[in-house]
A = this chain, B = another copy of it.
Amino acid sequence: MKSDDFRPGIDRRALISGLALLPALSGTLLPALAQAQTPSGVPLASWNDGPAKRAILDFVRATTEQASPQFVAPEERIATFDQDGTLWVEHPMYTQVVYCLDRVPAVVAEKPALKDVAPFKTVLSGDRDQIAKLSLHDLEEVLFATLTGMPVDDFEAEARKWLDSAKHPRWNRLYTDLTYQPMHEVLQYLRDNGYKTYIVTGGGQDFVRVYSQRVYGIPPEQVVGTAAGTKYGYDKEGKPFLTKEPKLLLNDNDAGKPEGIHLMIGRRPYAAFGNSTGDREMLEYTGAGASLRLKMLVLHDDAAREYAYGPAQGLPDSKVGTFSQALYDEATKKGWTVISMKNDWNRVFAFEGKA
């Protein structure tokens, strides 16, 4: 197992700085709450009137009305969504990284020799300062150990169990509750208008597929993510199974997003949503298509209801989901629409109730 074979598509600064904010290793047994549904009949109810809402409504009208010069054939209607920071909360740390750290005790229980070996010893200590100082190589070792080497069915079962119990430290709620109600409404609105909605995430494809149907109404085959290979083999009874391998096939960040879209979908999207520099190429690629395309970026400018970060807006820089000045400039130049959480959304989470 060579660590060079596996470079998870996660920004190093994001990992390390996020670790400093690591919540106590989580674990309760509450079942996942069902997602609130988009209020039927009223599209985009959690969106305030404004340029962002109007951009979505105009795009859908222009591409789905038969008489429109920008009409798009139903089978061509593809919309892609980044996940972390676009569909759900990414602060203070990518949810999947929390999962990996939480899984370390179980991995050590199976391989006790790891108990006294760095970086597992450090993670087990719970010492946040020390954990924050782990090197990228150390973190990769943690990701290896917790995301590969097991049958895909075992991974799925473990991830599912964790998602049903682990909670975000700020809200004390399941991570799957921390999805943005306005984005649920966009997903539903696009689907109601014949769009196939895809997640295109830097996160692990297998991880997101565990809950994508239940949480977003997006089936596993419409999740494109950072993906490692699997290996086909047989158990003692001759029954075949797949094992997750530490071999990276797709780093679904930055240029990897359009490359992943070509690999997994084979069509250029008509609409793309992101929130950080990792989504830049996906929006560029979407925008380079002929005719009307929708390109949108979520700006986290609402510290009260969620978080505020993004240097271009005079907000603190972020180690997770950077919205750089260069990205902001490109968005302005190319006419991409920036969604202000604070101004464009009258509700952030379904659990808040209606505004």
Interface residues of chain A, those whose CB is within 8 Å of chain B, are 75, 78, 152, 196, 205-206, 209, 213, 219-221, 223, 227, 229-232, 239-242, 249-250, 255, 258-259, 262-267, 281, 284-285, 288
Contact = CB atoms under 8 A, between A and B. Distances in A.
A219 B262 contact: no
The 5 closest A-B pairs by CB, nearest first: A220-B266, A232-B255, A221-B265, A209-B266, A240-B284
8 contacts: A220-B265, A220-B267, A221-B264, A221-B267, A230-B259, A232-B259, A240-B258, A241-B288
Given A232-B255, A240-B258, A242-B258, 5 more contacts: A75-B213, A206-B266, A220-B266, A240-B284, A240-B288
Nearest to A261: B242
Contacts of A227: 263
A41 B229 CA distance: 43
B221 A242 contact: no
A230 B255 CA distance: 10
Most buried by B among A78, A196, A259, A266: A266
A229 B263 CA distance: 8
Contacts of A230: 259, 262-263
A29 to B, nearest CB: 26
Given A152-B262, A223-B266, A267-B220, A232 B285 contact: yes
Contact of A242 (B223, B259, B264, B267): B259
In the complex, the count of this chain's copies comes to 2
Contacts of A267: 220-221
Contacts of A229: 259, 263
Contact of A240 (B239, B242, B281): B281
B249 A263 contact: yes
Contacts of A285: 232, 240, 242
Contacts of A250: 249
A288 B231 contact: no
Contacts of A205: 263, 266
Contact of A281 (B209, B232, B255): B232
Contacts of A265: 220-221
